[in-house]
Amino acid sequence: MARSASALVAGFLLLLTLLTLDAAQGQQPFPPTDPSDADALHAVFRQWRLEGEAAAEDPCMKRVWSGSFEINASIDCNCPAISRCQITGLNVTGYKNITEIPLALFNLTELVSMHFNNNNLSGSFPHESSLLRNLKSLWIFDNNVEGLIPEFIQNFTSLTDLYA
């Protein structure tokens, strides 16, 4: 009698635990990506066709799309408590099929670091690049943008680490 009662209690506790876990999974464990940043990143990755089936995922919860010796696609986020996450770093390197920077990227105005080396970018940086006022680090070596750096760099007023 006592045994079946304790089995019942154990079963009930197990059920309660499962229900609690289920409820916790339905919630965002930390602040989601700022909607403007999320839209911009989705638009950029859509144009580069990097998202695949994960298109709907919250960028700051995902963070890494690809990380290997040859190709990297990842972001860094700053998530101040009770506020939203903002995208502060973007590494997209080693993609020989990436030839242009989508304009949507310049909506990521909190970017501090942007590594774009070893892609196949060509042409100049558009005027919108002046929106990246916080950018400190820019790596664009091993692309086709030689000779275009002196012009656009004047608008990156925070830049301390340029590797071109």
Ligand X SMILES: *[C@@H]1O[C@H](CO)[C@@H](O)[C@H](O)[C@H]1NC(C)=O
The site for ligand X (CB under 6 A) is made up of 39-40, 43, 48-50, 69-72, 74-76, 89, 91, 93-97, 99, 104, 107, 115, 117-118, 120, 122, 127, 130, 151-152, 154-155
User: Beta partners for 89?
Assistant: 76, 113
Min dist. Cβ of residue 153 to ligand X (A): 8
* Residue 19 or 133 having the CB closest to ligand X: 133
When the beta carbons of 6 and 100 are compared against ligand X, the nearer one is 100
| Identity of the residue, 10 or 54, whose beta carbon is nearer to ligand X in the bound complex | 54
- Alpha-carbon distance of 140 to 110, in angstroms, equals 19
Only one residue has tokens 């790596």, namely: 139
Write the DSSP symbol of residue 126. P
Least distance (Å) between residue 6 CB and ligand X: 50
Beta strands in 20-159 (DSSP E): 64-67, 72-78, 86-93, 113-115, 137-139
- Contact partners, residue 24, CB within 8 Å, separation at least 6: none
Distance CA 101, CA 35 (A): 20
**Which of 4, 102 has the CB closer to ligand X?**
102
- Given the complex with ligand X, which of 26 and 147 has the nearer CB atom? 147
Enclosing H/E stretch for 161: strand 161-163
